[in-house]
């Protein structure tokens, strides 16, 4: 464990950063670029709290993104930790970053959320660390409170606690007091100051509207305006510096807000805009002249080596944490747990039971054959629909959490999907078994009971549910709004049912090339299984007349599916292959980096 006396120094030297400020979207080309940081320098030592102050658009978040190696665009300059270049991997291993938007898994308590944070600690050491963080952040009283019931102050402290459990040497925070009332903001800054002194963690945070009561807790301050540095250094030296250049802080005035206003462009009129802009340019130039840029790092300890306290948890351990988090959310006692269990276990059987109201008295006459064909259509449609509804209700929170955790390098998309499927697939299998028991008497002749036939029905239901689930996960990778993803998946599956199921129209009515293409759909094989169950063992009770045609089961299946005698072995293998294959494809797909427009969409 990192000792309190450990000496770490974070330095930024002559940082220039250009980024896209007017993105045109994924398909409209690149937006306009702008220089958002201009020669920024800063230094933060262990146990210190440094505030980055500036109005909106001054470059505060861009500077934090550059230091954390999350920034898109071109960057010049050096960011060092103990004299070593701060790479993305090193930042992920030894530092932390708390953004304004932090997503928690609903259904978990505060203590569970901290305990399931992936770290290299385990057992007693992990529990001790969690208890310490709860106490340091004044969260002990709400340790067993579910995260969805936290107020904004408690949620903000929990987000900080998730990073502190990992024992960072430097912690970055993007406007942690945003949206907090004055008392909560004061409590948060005081807690951060005490944490920095107690653990030796250096803290770098951005503030847009600092109050005077937080001034004593800040050791250093950096004033930014339009990417330029108006001042960077100790808070005590700040007062002397501005007094020396002719801008003393009036008595009873908040020095942070006074000098923040001094560093802000006045846009109330054109004249005031020009006057304030010229004044700020002069302040930036003067500070740059009086603090010349040094090419050598301030700290040279350790010959550029950064002591690593714990390292990074392995993929297996991270998977276990994600799996346990999924189980804890599923079996939580609150509304979230009840909703999750209902969707995973009972939605599909309930949908199948609704079919009894429409197909209970279907006979084995000619009309009954076509009615059972409609039953197969409903079974496929409801199985797909239940898979879509379950996924868009449960997976988006994990997709959003993944997008926020990706910059920290805690786990890959494949690890997330393996954990998610390790929970969802067993539940879907149990749900399909119950649903098969419900629909089995409707679909099969009561005189023909066979365990293998039940297995065919189970495969058809389960593979349909899982395929819709995995197809929804595919679309949710790039579509942020779950309802839009559901519409896209539904559109794809409706086309598949219309062309390949043999329930909407027969194969004889399709062009030959369309008949061949249906072999590349899951619906063809699942529908073939259901038709085999419903018709192959059934005897038609029908007397042909001049107005009544009595189709034979083999002729009926040949007309609807183009197959007089389907091969159930191929149908079972193909149905499972589509479902499992799409799950494997998603694990590969979630490994690839997403375009900036997609990352930005989930970030906002």
- Chain segment 178-188, per-residue pLDDT in tens: 989 999 999 99
Which of 395 and 236 is assigned the larger pLDDT? Answer: 395
DSSP bridge partners of 95? 170
Query: What is the average pLDDT across 163-176?
Result: 92
Question: Other CB atoms closer than 10 Å to residue 27's CB: what's the count?
Answer: 7
pLDDT at 368 over 50: yes
pLDDT at 507 over 60: yes
Judge contact between 279 and 286, C-beta under 8 A. Answer: no
Q: How far is CA 600 from CA 56, 60, 544, in A?
A: 18, 17, 66
How far is Cα 91 from Cα 449, in angstroms, rounded to an integer?
A: 63
Query: What is the average pLDDT across 516-529?
Result: 85
How far is Cα 575 from Cα 596, in angstroms, rounded to an integer?
A: 36
> Terminus-to-terminus CA distance in the chain, angstroms?
35
Which alpha helices (DSSP H) does 149-248 contain, by range? 152-164, 182-199, 235-244
Q: Provide the percentage of residues in the chain whose pLDDT is more than 90.
A: 45
- DSSP letter string, 462-487: HHHHHHHHHHHHHHHTT--SHHHHHH
161 pLDDT band (50/70/90 cuts)? very high
301 pLDDT band (50/70/90 cuts)? very low
Judge contact between 136 and 163, C-beta under 8 A. Answer: no
| Average pLDDT taken over every residue of the chain | 84
- Chain segment 567-603, per-residue pLDDT in tens: 788 889 999 999 999 999 999 998 887 777 776 766 6
Q: What is the phi-psi region of residue 376: left when phi exceeds 0, alpha when psi lies from -120 to 50, beta otherwise?
A: alpha
Nearest CA among 165, 101, 111 for reference residue 139: 111
Judge contact between 116 and 324, C-beta under 8 A. Answer: yes
Q: Record the pTM.
A: 0.86
3-state secondary structure of 76: strand
pLDDT at 514 over 70: yes
Domain boundaries, the chain: 9-17+34-211, 315-602
How far is Cα 224 from Cα 280, in angstroms, rounded to an integer?
A: 10
The DSSP output letter for 248 is P
Edge-to-edge strand ranges of the sheet holding 228-234: 95-98, 170-173, 202-207, 49-53, 220-225, 228-234
Give the per-residue pLDDT at 124: 84
How far is Cα 568 from Cα 179, in angstroms, rounded to an integer?
A: 61
24 pLDDT band (50/70/90 cuts)? low
For 25, residues 6+ apart whose C-beta sits below 8 A from its C-beta are 597
Nearest CA among 262, 291, 260, 259 for reference residue 279: 262
CATH class (in words) of the domain with range 9-17+34-211 = alpha beta
pLDDT at 246 over 50: yes
Which of 539 and 585 is assigned the larger pLDDT? Answer: 585
Give the per-residue pLDDT at 208: 83
pLDDT at 549 over 70: no
Residue spans of beta strands (DSSP E) within 61-131: 74-81, 84-85, 95-98
DSSP bridge partners of 109? 146
Three-state secondary structure string covering 513-545: HHHHHHHHCHHHHHHHHHHHHHHCCCCCCCCCC
Three-state secondary structure string covering 39-100: EEEEEEECCCEEEEECCCCCCHHHHHHHHCCCCCCEEEEEEEECCEECCHHHHHHHEEEECC
Judge contact between 544 and 552, C-beta under 8 A. Answer: no
pLDDT at 387 over 60: yes
Give the per-residue pLDDT at 296: 44
Judge contact between 287 and 232, C-beta under 8 A. Answer: yes
- Chain segment 396-453, per-residue pLDDT in tens: 999 988 888 888 888 889 999 999 999 999 999 999 999 999 998 887 765 556 778 8
Q: Take residue 143 and report the two structure tokens written for it.
A: 């340790």
């Amino acid at each position: 464990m990192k000792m309190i006396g450990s000496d770490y120094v974070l330095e930024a030297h002559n940082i220039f950063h250009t980024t896209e400020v007017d993105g045109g979207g994924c398909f409209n080309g690149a937006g306009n670029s702008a220089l958002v940081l201009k020669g920024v320098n800063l230094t933060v030592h262990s146990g210190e709290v440094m505030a980055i102050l500036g109005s909106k658009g001054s470059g505060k978040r861009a500077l934090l993104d550059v230091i954390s190696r999350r920034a898109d665009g071109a960057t010049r300059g050096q960011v060092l930790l103990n004299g070593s270049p701060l790479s993305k991997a090193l930042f992920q291993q030894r530092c932390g970053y708390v953004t304004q938007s932090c997503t928690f898994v609903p259904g978990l308590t505060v203590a569970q959320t901290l305990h399931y944070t992936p770290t290299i600690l385990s057992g007693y050491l992990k529990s001790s660390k969690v208890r310490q963080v709860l106490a340091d952040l004044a969260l002990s009283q709400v340790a067993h409170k579910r995260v969805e019931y936290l107020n904004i102050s408690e949620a903000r402290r929990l987000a900080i606690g998730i990073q502190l459990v990992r024992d960072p040497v430097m912690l970055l925070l993007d406007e942690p007091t945003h949206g907090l009332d004055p008392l909560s903001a004061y409590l948060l800054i005081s807690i951060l100051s005490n944490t920095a002194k107690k653990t030796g963690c250096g803290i770098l945070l951005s503030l847009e509207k600092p109050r005077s009561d937080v001034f004593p807790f800040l050791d250093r301050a950096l004033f930014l305006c339009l990417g330029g540095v108006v001042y960077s250094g100790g808070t005590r030296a700040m007062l002397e510096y501005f007094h020396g250049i002719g801008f003393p802080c009036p008595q009873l005035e908040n020095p942070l807000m006074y000098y923040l206003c001094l560093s802000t462009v006045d846009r109330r009129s054109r004249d005031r805009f020009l006057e304030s802009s010229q004044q700020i340019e002069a302040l930036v130039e003067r500070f740059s002249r009086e603090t010349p840029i040094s090419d050598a790092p301030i700290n040279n300890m350790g010959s550029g080596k950064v002591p690593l306290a714990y390292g990074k948890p392995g993929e297996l351990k991270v998977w276990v944490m994600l799996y346990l988090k999924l189980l804890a959310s599923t079996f939580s006692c609150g509304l979230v747990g009840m909703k999750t269990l209902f969707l995973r276990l009972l939605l599909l059987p309930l949908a199948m039971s609704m079919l009894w109201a429409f197909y209970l008295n279907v006979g084995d006459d000619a009309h009954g054959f076509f009615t059972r064909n409609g039953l197969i259509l409903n079974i496929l449609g409801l199985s797909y629909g239940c898979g879509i509804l379950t996924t868009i209700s449960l997976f988006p929170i994990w997709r959003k959490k993944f997008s926020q955790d990706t910059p920290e390098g805690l786990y890959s998309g494949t690890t997330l999907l393996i954990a998610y499927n390790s929970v969802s697939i067993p539940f879907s299998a149990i749900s399909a078994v119950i649903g098969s028991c419900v629909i089995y008497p409707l679909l099969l002749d009561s005189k023909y009971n066979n365990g293998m036939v039940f297995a065919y029905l189970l495969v058809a239901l389960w593979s349909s549910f899982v395929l819709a689930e995995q197809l929804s996960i595919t679309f949710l990778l790039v579509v942020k709004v779950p309802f839009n993803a559901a519409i896209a998946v539904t559109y794809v599956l409706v086309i598949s049912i219309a062309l390949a199921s043999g329930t909407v129209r027969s194969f004889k009515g399709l062009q030959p090339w369309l008949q061949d293409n249906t072999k590349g759909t899951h619906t063809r094989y699942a529908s073939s299984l259901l038709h085999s169950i419903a018709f192959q063992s059934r005897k038609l009770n029908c007397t042909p007349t001049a107005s009544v045609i009595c189709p034979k089961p083999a002729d009926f299946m040949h007309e609807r599916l183009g197959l007089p005698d389907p091969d159930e072995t191929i149908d079972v293998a193909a149905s499972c292959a589509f479902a499992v294959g799409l799950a494997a494809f998603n694990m590969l797909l979630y490994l690839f980096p997403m375009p900036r427009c997609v990352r930005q969409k989930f970030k906002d």
